[in-house]
């Protein structure tokens, strides 16, 4: 499956993407925003191979620019068809593409797919309190803060809160208008 946004193309993740993921996840400037902080090439390849077994509950896609540069990944995880909800994950690993709208466009593209094609009612996410750039994007997309997991994330010897945010289909429709 391929989804097209204004700036990005979302495509299936390939084994050949593994080396870029390893580079990103082992970069301290990047991985401080992730729950996974260090990976090996072998572990990343195993994860990519495992995606085909989880098609019913996880949709993981690579983010490419319209020019074909792989810059990150996004996905809907823990898809629950009975309750019509899922968890959004997104990362832009190529730092030269940060703050240029690629993450917003990828998120919009995936939210449209989740609400309109998968018929989800709710999409949620968690974000660390020290990631104001991401929080700002999520709020702009219509996500509402629903709770705080106090001192949930240990980073460099300190505990930080994790914000829990959610977006309902009706709220997304309002934002889209």
What residues make up the domain containing 154? 3-176
> Can you name the residues that pair with 94 across neighbouring β-strands?
none
Query: Which pair of tokens denotes residue 121?
Result: 């009612």
Average pLDDT across the chain, whole number: 93
What integer is the mean pLDDT of 99-114? 96
What's the number of domains the chain is made of?
1
Interhelix angle 102-112/132-140, nearest 10 degrees: 40
Predicted local distance difference test score (pLDDT) of residue 37: 65
Which residues have a Cβ under 8 Å from the Cβ of 167 and sit 6 or more positions away? Answer: 111, 122, 123, 124, 141, 142, 143, 144
pLDDT band of 32, cuts 50, 70, 90: confident
Specify the CATH number for the domain of residue 108.
3.40.630.30
Distance CA 142, CA 144 (A): 6
Q: Are 123 and 112 in contact (CB under 8 A)?
A: no
Predicted local distance difference test score (pLDDT) of residue 38: 75
More confident residue, 126 or 25: 126
Which residues have a Cβ under 8 Å from the Cβ of 53 and sit 6 or more positions away? Answer: none
More confident residue, 29 or 167: 167
- pLDDT over threshold 80, residue 177: no
Share of the chain above pLDDT 70, in %: 99
pLDDT tens figures, 51-100: 888 888 999 999 999 999 999 999 999 999 999 999 999 999 999 999 99
């Amino acid at each position: 499956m391929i989804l097209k946004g204004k700036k990005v193309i979302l495509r299936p993740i390939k084994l050949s993407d593994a080396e870029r993921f390893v580079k990103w996840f082992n970069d301290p400037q990047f991985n401080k925003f992730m729950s996974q902080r260090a990976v090996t090439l072998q572990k990343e390849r195993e994860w990519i191979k495992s995606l085909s077994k989880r098609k019913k509950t996880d949709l993981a896609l690579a983010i490419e620019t319209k020019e074909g540069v792989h810059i990150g990944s996004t996905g809907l995880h823990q898809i629950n068809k009975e309750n019509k909800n899922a968890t959004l994950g997104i990362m832009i690993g190529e730092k030269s593409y940060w703050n240029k709208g690629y993450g917003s466009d990828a998120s919009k593209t995936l939210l449209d797919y989740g609400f309109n094609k998968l018929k989800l009612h709710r999409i949620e996410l968690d974000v660390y309190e020290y990631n104001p750039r991401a929080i700002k994007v999520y709020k702009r997309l219509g996500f509402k803060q629903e709770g705080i997991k106090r001192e949930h994330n240990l980073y460099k010897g300190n505990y930080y809160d994790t914000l829990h945010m959610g977006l309902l289909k009706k709220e997304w429709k309002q934002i889209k208008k």
